[in-house]
């Protein structure tokens, strides 16, 4: 099966029977690419994932991957409870085997049976990029997978990851936090935030196109004694952030002496009130600092965000623009809300 035939074989998954999104919002959100798993976490056994209230299974089959609805069409058993054998995913109920295209290639109880074409997995459009499995439930993505260059191809950058983690908040609230600069001086006052720099986070250059929004500004940070950032009690930093719509960011933090620290936040809406976060970091300095120390520092900062975002009410971003007050510093989040309205989202919750 060539690439074109394989693409045509991908299913457009149906609206889940038990769904926390409205039908309108689910249909729109299903058209986007989402990061659902780290490649490094896909081992010898099928792995379960959940996206937009849809249960999925991911399996490494030979040199490729299969991503499908976590359901054997024969009798509805979860394939994530199965196993991999001979480059096929095996259903745990009757041993039916499915290859990387989703086709059933063996029915153990009837090995000579001419297997009907209908007996195949409900496969999902997927792509492996940057060590992450990305999927689109509709099979017709209307956004783009983020671009991570040059950090992914330049060996001067050291990479480490945090997650996947499940957060008790909507993807909208979470991504809005990660494009909000005015909270640095307060939410992160115990890590890098400096209250005297509050106006610096409010003044930033902003632009957008059909797929991205960009923000750029300077911020004077501070670091406590236990920070792993080398030889600094106070740091001038230049920040350049790209939001890859709808729920991924790439932030380049530039320090003096050409040091760069990059943060990629990759969010997938598990349900209307639960999100999965995969954070990927790159640094071209501090190579002598153990990865676990750097990761603990990043986790400390991110969990300061978590402590606020998981308490926000309402859980969904209000798409009635007049229902919340907007200051000058909120132009990025206001643009995000207007984009969400423009693509037809209503911010409804049915759970």
CA 105 vs. chain centroid, Å, equals: 33
Domain with CATH 2.102.10.10 in the chain: 3-136
Euclidean distance between CA atoms 112 and 82, whole angstroms: 23
Q: For domain 158-342, give the CATH number.
A: 3.90.380.10
CATH H superfamily, domain 3-136: Rieske [2Fe-2S] iron-sulphur domain (2.102.10.10)
Chain centre to alpha carbon of residue 261: 19
pLDDT of 170 strictly over 90: yes
Strand positions, DSSP E, the chain:
34-38, 47-51, 54-61, 64-69, 83-85, 88-90, 97-98, 104-106, 125-129, 132-136, 158-167, 205-208, 212-222, 234-244, 248-255, 259-271, 274-283
Please report the pLDDT score of residue 177 as a whole number. Answer: 94
**Closest-CA residue to 219 (of 257, 250, 180, 247):** 180
Note the pLDDT tens digit of each residue in 50-66: 999 999 999 999 989 99
pTM of the model: 0.92
**Interval 253-310: pLDDT, tens:** 998 888 899 999 999 999 999 999 999 999 999 899 999 999 999 999 999 999 999 9
């Amino acid at each position: 099966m060539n690439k074109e035939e394989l693409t045509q074989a991908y299913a457009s998954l149906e609206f889940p029977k038990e769904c926390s999104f409205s039908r309108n919002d689910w249909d729109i959100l299903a058209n986007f690419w989402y990061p659902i798993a780290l490649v490094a976490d896909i081992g010898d056994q099928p792995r379960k994932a959940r996206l937009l209230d849809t249960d999925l299974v991911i399996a490494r089959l030979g040199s490729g991957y299969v991503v499908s609805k976590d359901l054997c069409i024969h009798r509805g058993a979860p394939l994530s409870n199965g196993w991999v054998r001979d480059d096929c995913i095996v259903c745990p109920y009757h041993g039916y085997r499915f290859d990387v295209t989703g086709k059933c290639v063996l029915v153990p109880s009837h090995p000579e049976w001419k297997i009907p074409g209908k007996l195949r997995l409900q496969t999902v459009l997927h792509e492996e990029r940057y060590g992450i499995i990305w999927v689109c439930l509709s099979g017709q993505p209307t956004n783009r997978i983020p671009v991570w260059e040059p950090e992914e191809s330049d060996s001067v950058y050291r990479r480490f990851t945090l997650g996947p983690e499940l957060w008790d908040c909507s993807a909208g609230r979470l991504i809005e936090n990660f494009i909000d600069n005015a909270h640095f001086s307060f939410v992160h006052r115990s890590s890098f935030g400096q209250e005297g720099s509050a106006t610096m986070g409010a003044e930033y250059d902003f632009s957008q196109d059909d797929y991205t929004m960009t923000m750029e500004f300077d911020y004077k940070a501070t670091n406590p004694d236990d920070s792993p950032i080398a030889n600094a009690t106070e740091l001038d930093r230049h920040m350049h952030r790209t939001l890859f719509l709808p729920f991924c960011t790439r932030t380049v933090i530039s320090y003096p002496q050409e040091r760069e620290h990059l943060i990629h936040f990759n969010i997938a809406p598990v349900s209307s009130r639960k999100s999965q976060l995969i954070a990927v970091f790159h640094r071209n300095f501090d190579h002598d600092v153990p990865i676990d120390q750097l990761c603990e520092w990043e986790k400390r900062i991110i969990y300061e965000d978590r402590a606020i975002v998981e308490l926000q009410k309402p859980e969904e971003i209000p798409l009635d623009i007049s229902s919340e007050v907007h200051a000058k510093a909120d132009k990025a989040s206001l643009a995000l809300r207007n984009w969400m309205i423009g693509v037809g989202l209503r911010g409804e919750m049915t759970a």
